[in-house]
């Protein structure tokens, strides 16, 4: 519900902290697809904080943080659709 409420306001920036953390695998994939599709269609910036590195291929940009500092920034020129990612 929190994600639906946030998307309903059509923000330019959406911050998601572990958006699939308490979800089963299939529901998690549906939420990530919704976020990926909405990001593209609405030209919205979506920042997802996660410990699940299997999700990094879906991102346009991956910023790795350690002890509060960015340790690497990688641009992904060809993000993978979430349907093709398994974890």
CA 50 distance to own-chain centroid: 8
User: Residue 52 — left, alpha, or beta (φ > 0 → left; ψ -120 to 50 → alpha)?
Assistant: beta
Question: Is 86 part of any domain?
Answer: no
> Mean pLDDT across the chain, nearest whole number?
93
Distance between CA 52 and CA 40 in Å, rounded?
22
Q: Which pLDDT tens digit goes with each residue over 17-55?
A: 999 988 999 999 999 999 999 989 999 999 999 999 999
SS3 category, 46? strand
Domain count of the fold of the chain = 1
pTM of the prediction?
0.84
Distance between CA 37 and CA 22 in Å, rounded?
21
Question: Is 87 part of any domain?
Answer: no
Read off the CATH number of the domain in which 34 is found. Answer: 3.40.50.300
Range of the domain at 51: 2-77
Question: Is 44 part of any domain?
Answer: yes
């Amino acid at each position: 519900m929190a994600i639906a409420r946030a998307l309903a306001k059509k923000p330019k920036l959406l911050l998601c902290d572990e958006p699939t953390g308490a979800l089963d695998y299939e529901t998690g994939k549906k939420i990530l697809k919704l976020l990926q599709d909405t990001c593209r269609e609405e030209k919205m910036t979506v920042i997802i904080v996660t410990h699940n590195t299997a999700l990094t291929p879906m991102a346009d940009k991956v910023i790795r943080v350690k002890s509060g500092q960015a340790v690497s920034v990688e641009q992904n020129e060809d993000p993978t659709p979430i349907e093709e990612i398994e974890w």
